[in-house]
C-alpha cells in the first residue's frame, strides 16, 4: 500500500521533473522574454533593494538563479555567491554571463533544486555559513514545500543574516483586473488557490502560491520578518508587455515611480506580481 509520505515524495519528484524540463526548454529564449520594459522595471526594483541589503564581502546563497541576471548583479556588489538551479540549460547561461562580466571567480554553481539543496550544502565545506540567502522572481513557487528553506536557514545562515524571498503572491492586482475584464474568471482567481498548473514552454508546471504564514512556519521562530515589498504593483506581469506598451510613455514612467514607494505600503504590498520579503535570523543572546 502506498503511504501518504510516499505519495508526497512522488508528487515532489514529479513537480521537480516537470519544472526542470520546462525551464530547460525555456532557457534559450528566457533572456529575450525577460528583456521587456515591464520585467526590467520589476528587476530594477528588486536590485535597488538588494543593493541596500547586500554588502561587499557578503557570502550569499542564491536559490533558483535562472540565467544569472541577479547572480551577476550581486557579484558586482562585491558579494561571493553560491548559486543553484535545477535547470542545466539555465546554469550554462549563468556561467556564460558571469564569465562575460569578468566575475566568474566570485560565484560557485550548484545543479540542484530546493528539495535537494540541504544535502548538497551539508556535504560541502560551508562551515563559515552565509551572510544572506536570496531567491527572486518566484523560483520557490516551483517548490511544493518550503520546509527545506527553513533547514538551510537554521544550519547555514549566520545569526543576524537575512533571507530575501521573492514569491508570486496570492493576489496580483493587474492579473485579476485584466482577466476579469476578459471574462476569464478562472485565470483571474488562479492565484487564490494553493496550487495551479501554469504553462511554461508548452509544459504545465505545478506552481505553488505560498502564503506568508507558510514562509514563517517553514523558517521557524528564529526568523523575524522586517520588510515586505510589492514588486510590480503598478507595473504589470511581463506577459502583459504588449498591453503595457500601449500605455503612453509618460504614464508608464509615472506608474514605475509610484511602484518605488507604494510597494512598501501595507495591503498594497501584497498586490504585486511578486512580493519580496526579508526575514532576519535572530542573534542569540547569551547574556
Instruction: Collect all residues with Cβ–Cβ distance below 8 Å to 242 and sequence separation of at least 6.
Output: none
pLDDT surpasses 70 at 10 = no
Positive or negative, the CA dihedral 233, 239, 243, 244 is positive
pLDDT surpasses 50 at 6 = no
For the chain, percent of residues with pLDDT exceeding 70? 94
pLDDT category, 3, cuts 50, 70, 90? Answer: low
Report pLDDT digits (tens) over 241-255: 999 999 999 999 999
Q: What is the average per-residue pLDDT within 20-37?
A: 96
Instruction: Collect all residues with Cβ–Cβ distance below 8 Å to 146 and sequence separation of at least 6.
Output: 114, 140, 210, 214, 215, 218, 219
* CA–CA dist 91, 163 (Å, integer): 22
pLDDT category, 142, cuts 50, 70, 90? Answer: very high
Strand pairing partners for 134?
Answer: 62, 164
Asked whether residue 287 is domain-assigned, the answer is: no
Asked whether residue 99 is domain-assigned, the answer is: yes
What three-state secondary structure class fits 266? coil
Q: What is the average per-residue pLDDT within 194-200?
A: 92
pLDDT for the residue 190: 87
Task: Enter the C-alpha cell of residue 63.
Answer: 536559490
Q: What is the average per-residue pLDDT within 63-82?
A: 98
Asked whether residue 244 is domain-assigned, the answer is: yes
Asked whether residue 286 is domain-assigned, the answer is: no
Q: What are phi and psi of 209, to 5 degrees?
A: -95, 90
pLDDT for the residue 174: 93
pLDDT surpasses 60 at 4 = no
pLDDT for the residue 261: 87
pLDDT category, 144, cuts 50, 70, 90? Answer: very high
Other Cβ atoms within 10 Å of 128 Cβ, number: 9
Longest CA pairwise span in the chain (Å): 63
How high is the mean pLDDT of the chain?
93
Pairing of strands 107-111, 80-85: parallel
Asked whether residue 271 is domain-assigned, the answer is: yes
Structural domain count, the chain? 1
Domain that holds residue 58: 4-281
Asked whether residue 240 is domain-assigned, the answer is: yes
Residues 115, 148: contact at Cβ < 8 Å?
yes
Asked whether residue 108 is domain-assigned, the answer is: yes
Domain of residue 156, CATH code:
3.40.50.150
Report pLDDT digits (tens) over 113-134: 999 999 999 988 656 799 999 9
Residues 72, 97: contact at Cβ < 8 Å?
yes
Amino acid at each position: 500500500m502506498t503511504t501518504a509520505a510516499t505519495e508526497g515524495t512522488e508528487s515532489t519528484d514529479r513537480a521537480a521533473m516537470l519544472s526542470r524540463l520546462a525551464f530547460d526548454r525555456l532557457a534559450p529564449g528566457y533572456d529575450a522574454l525577460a528583456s521587456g520594459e515591464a520585467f526590467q522595471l520589476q528587476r530594477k526594483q528588486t536590485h535597488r533593494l538588494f543593493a541596500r541589503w547586500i554588502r561587499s564581502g557578503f557570502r550569499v546563497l542564491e536559490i533558483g538563479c535562472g540565467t544569472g541576471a541577479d547572480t551577476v548583479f550581486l557579484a558586482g556588489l562585491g558579494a561571493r555567491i553560491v548559486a543553484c538551479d535545477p535547470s542545466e540549460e539555465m546554469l550554462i547561461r549563468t556561467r556564460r554571463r558571469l564569465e562575460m562580466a569578468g566575475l566568474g571567480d566570485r560565484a560557485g554553481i550548484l545543479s540542484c533544486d530546493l528539495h535537494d539543496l540541504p544535502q548538497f550544502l551539508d556535504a560541502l565545506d560551508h562551515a563559515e555559513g552565509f551572510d544572506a540567502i536570496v531567491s527572486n522572481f518566484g523560483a520557490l513557487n516551483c517548490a511544493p514545500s518550503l520546509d527545506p528553506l527553513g533547514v538551510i536557514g537554521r544550519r547555514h545562515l549566520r545569526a543576524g543574516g537575512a533571507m530575501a524571498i521573492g514569491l508570486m503572491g496570492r493576489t496580483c492586482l493587474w492579473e485579476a483586473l485584466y482577466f476579469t475584464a476578459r471574462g476569464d474568471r478562472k485565470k483571474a482567481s488562479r492565484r487564490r488557490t494553493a496550487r495551479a498548473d501554469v504553462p511554461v514552454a508548452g509544459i504545465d508546471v505545478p506552481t505553488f502560491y505560498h502564503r506568508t504564514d507558510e514562509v514563517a512556519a517553514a523558517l521557524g521562530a528564529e526568523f523575524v520578518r522586517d520588510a515586505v515589498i510589492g514588486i510590480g504593483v503598478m507595473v504589470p506581469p511581463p506577459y502583459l508587455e504588449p498591453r503595457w506598451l500601449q500605455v503612453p510613455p509618460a504614464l508608464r514612467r509615472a506608474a514605475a515611480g509610484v511602484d518605488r514607494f507604494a510597494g512598501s505600503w501595507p495591503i498594497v504590498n501584497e498586490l504585486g506580481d511578486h512580493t519580496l520579503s526579508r526575514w532576519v535570523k535572530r542573534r542569540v543572546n547569551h547574556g
